[in-house]
Amino acid sequence: MLDPHVAELSVHMIEKVPPDLSRLLLAPMPGLVTRLDVKTGDKVEPGQTVAIMEAMKMENILRAPKAATVKATPVKAGESVAVDQVIVEFE
């Protein structure tokens, strides 16, 4: 429940729509991409291994969230990534 003065002003706020991230595979943590199993144009199935990241001496398997075609791979194997950095973009 909002305070009365906040509720009165909230009607003037612009609604911020979150970006559509469903076409992106983002790095869940900072680390090193040790392997990239797809390239542009490849078709992937849900659950298919797309990349492997190493963070804190542990390997993390990144899987395709849905069936799609790979549009771009802005990161290459051997590159360090930051949290939420795009690893694979799907069409």
Class of domain 22-90: mainly beta
Residue type, 8: E
pLDDT digits (tens, 9 = 90+) for 5-41: 888 898 888 988 999 999 999 999 999 999 999 999 9
At 11 the pLDDT is: 85
Length of the chain: 91
Beta strands in 1-91 (DSSP E): 24-26, 31-36, 43-44, 49-55, 58-63, 68-72, 80-81, 86-90
Cα–Cα dist 23/39, whole Å: 15
pLDDT of residue 30: 97
pLDDT band at 2 (very low <50, low <70, confident <90, very high): confident
Which residue shows structure tokens 């398997």? 61
Which tens digits make up the pLDDT trace of 79-91? Answer: 999 999 999 999 9
**Domain residue ranges in the chain:** 22-90
Are 33 and 51 a contacting pair, CB within 8 Å?
yes
